[in-house]
Chain A
Amino acid sequence: MNVHTYFEDIGIWPKDNVLISYVMGFILSLVCTVLAYMLATSSVLLFSFSVPIAVSLIVILAVIQLVVQLSFFLHLSARTTSRDRYLIFCATMFIVAVLFIGSVWIMNTLNTRMMPDTTNMNAYMKSQSGL
C-alpha cells in the first residue's frame, strides 16, 4: 500500500486538491447554516419576508448545504472514482422520496379517503338517492 495515494486508490478521494475541498465545504456549510438560522429567527424583522417565503428559502439553503457536504466532504460525484457510490445513492434517494412524500401525502389527505361516520353516511346516501 502507498499511504500517499491510498484514499485515491480505493476511490474515496478525487485526484484534485482535497484540502481546498474540505475548507470550501466547511465555509459554505457555515454560511448556509448561519443564513438559515437568521431567516428562521429574525426573517420577519430583518428582511420583512412572509413565512412561506422564509420557509422556502430555509429549505433551499438546506438542499444547497446537503449538496455541498455530499460533494466536498464525501466526494460524491458521477466521475469514475465514486460512480458506484453515486449510483446507489441516487437509487436510495428515490426510495427516500417515495417513502417521505408518499407518507406525508397519504396521511395528510386521510380524512378525505375515510368513510364518514353513520350520521353523515346516512345523510350522504339520502342525498344521493334523492329521498
Chain B
Amino acid sequence: MTHVRTIESDTKTVFGFWTYLMTDLVLFASLFAMYAVLHANTAGGPSGRDIFSGPVVLAETLILLTSSFVVGLAMLAARAHKKMLVISAVVLTMILGIGFLATELAEFSSLVAAGHSWAQSGFLSGYFALVGTHGLHIFIGLIWALMLLEHIAHNGLTQSNMRKLVLFSLFWHFLDIIWICIFTLVYLLGII
C-alpha cells in the first residue's frame, strides 16, 4: 500500500519544517550573541572598519534579496502551473545564490591570505563562525535547489513537488532574513 499524502499531512509537514527553522533561528541567535560579545576583542588585529568593504557587502545583500524575491516568483509560477517558468526561476535563484557564495568565499580567502584568519582574534573567530554558518546554509540550499530541479523536471508539478518547493522557499526566505541581521549588525555597524 502506498502512502497517500493529503492536504492535511502536507500542512503538518510545512509546520514541522517551520519548527526546524525556528530552532535554526536559536542557533543563529547564539552565534549573534557570541559575535556581539567578542566583536571588540581584536587582540591587536584588524577591526571591522579595517577589513569590511561596503560596496561588496551591499552587492551581496542585493543579490540575496533578489534571489529571495525570485523564489517568490517560482511559487507564483507553480500556482499558475507553468513548469518551465518554475524551473527558470529556480535556476535564476541558484545562479544568484552561487554569485553570493562566490563573493563571500572570495572575501573570506582574501582575509585569510592577508593573515586575518579566525585564529587571529576573538572578533575574527566570531565573524567567521557567524557568517560562515550562514554561508554553509546557503551552500546546502543550493544543493537542495539542484535536487528540487531534478524532481520538477522529471515528475512535473505534482503535489509532492509543490510541497518540496514550499519548504525550499521557506528555507531561502529565512536565510535572507538572517542575512539582513548579519548585514546590519556585523557589516553596517562595523563600518559606521
A89/B173 contact (C-beta < 8 A), A1-B159, A30-B65 known: no
Query: Which residues of chain A are near B73, meaning CB under 8 Å?
Result: 22
CB-based contact A11/B54 at 8 Å = no
Interface size class on chain A is: 35 or more
Interface membership of B144, Cβ < 8 A: no
Of residues 63 to 88 in B, which have CB atoms within 8 Å of A's CB atoms?
Answer: 65-66, 68-69, 72-73, 75-76, 78-81
Distance to closest chain A CB from B173 (angstroms): 5
Query: Which residues of chain A are near B184, meaning CB under 8 Å?
Result: 36, 58-59, 61-62
Distance to closest chain B CB from A112 (angstroms): 16
A88/B69 contact (C-beta < 8 A), A69-B180, A104-B36 known: no
Q: A29 vs B176: C-alpha distance in the bound complex, in angstroms? A: 11
Closest to A26 in B: B69
Closest to B61 in A: A33
Interface membership of B108, Cβ < 8 A: no
CB-based contact B192/A99 at 8 Å = no
Query: Which residues of chain A are near B180, meaning CB under 8 Å?
Result: 33, 62, 65-66, 69
CB-based contact B192/A74 at 8 Å = no
CB-based contact A85/B26 at 8 Å = no
Distance to closest chain A CB from B36 (angstroms): 5
Chain A contact residues, majority secondary structure: helix
CB-based contact B32/A92 at 8 Å = no
Contact flags B167-192 to A (C-beta < 8 A → 1, else 0) = 00010011011001101110111011
* One of A7, A12, A99 near B26 (C-beta < 8 A): A99
A37/B58 contact (C-beta < 8 A), A10-B166, A70-B177 known: yes
Distance to closest chain A CB from B170 (angstroms): 7
> Other than the known A12-B14, A19-B76, A40-B54, what 17 A-B pairs have Cβ atoms closer than 8 Å?
A6-B159, A7-B79, A7-B166, A22-B72, A22-B76, A37-B54, A39-B192, A41-B191, A62-B183, A66-B181, A69-B180, A74-B174, A84-B15, A85-B18, A92-B26, A103-B34, A104-B36
CB-based contact B54/A22 at 8 Å = no
Query: Which residues of chain B are near A100, meaning CB under 8 Å?
Result: 29, 32-33, 36
